[in-house]
Amino acid sequence: MCTITTARDPVVLGRWLPPGVHVNAAGSNWAHRRELDAEAVARAHRVVVDDLPQARVECGDLVQAAAEGAFEWDRAAELGDVVAGKVQGRASPQEVTLFCSQGIALEDVVAARLVYERARARGVGRQLDLGLDRP
């Protein structure tokens, strides 16, 4: 299940989540916004974020669930650690897993640079004068 709304209040309730579901929650990028209720967060066996310090500030789903006593931050792991095998991901097909994606600006910059380099190598696209080289 993927969510990417501008909701201030939950649009997904924990009681709706079947065993084995994976939730990508990407819309609650302010502490005062949330897409998931506290029960949805509490039901997750695995909680993964892009970056823990950033999630503690921006991931409203987790910030509010923690404030309500339904989530402890030591349950969260960073995506890079899961991918590197430092932290276990899903352990069984029945586990509910949650990825709270806030995005990391550095990832956007790296992706943009890659696109730029490939476009130049292929001779496609055009350069725009944005006036950034002028005072």
133 within a domain of the structure (yes/no) = no
pLDDT tens digits for 115-127? 889 998 999 988 8
pLDDT tens string 14-30: 999 999 999 999 987 88
Q: Which domain range does residue 79 map to?
A: 2-122
Residue 15 lies in a domain: yes
Residue whose entry in the numeric block shows the structure tokens 């924990």: 14
Q: State the first-to-last Cα distance of the chain, in angstroms, to the nearest integer.
A: 47
CATH of the domain at 38: 3.40.50.720
In which residue are the tokens 């949650």 written? 98
Residue 128 placed within a domain: no
> Which residue type, as a one-letter code, is found at position 50?
D
- Count of Cβ atoms closer than 10 Å to residue 127 Cβ: 8
Q: Answer yes or no: is pLDDT of 101 > 70.
A: yes
| pLDDT, average across residues 71-78 | 97
Residue 92 in domain:
yes
d(CA 35, CA 51): 19
64 lies in a domain?
Answer: yes
Sheet holding 97-100, edge to edge: 2-3, 22-25, 97-100, 46-49, 76-78
| The model scores a pTM over 0.85 | no
CA distances from 128 to 20, 125, 131 (A): 48, 10, 9
Position 94 in a domain = yes
pLDDT beyond 70 at 113: yes
135 assigned to some structural domain: no
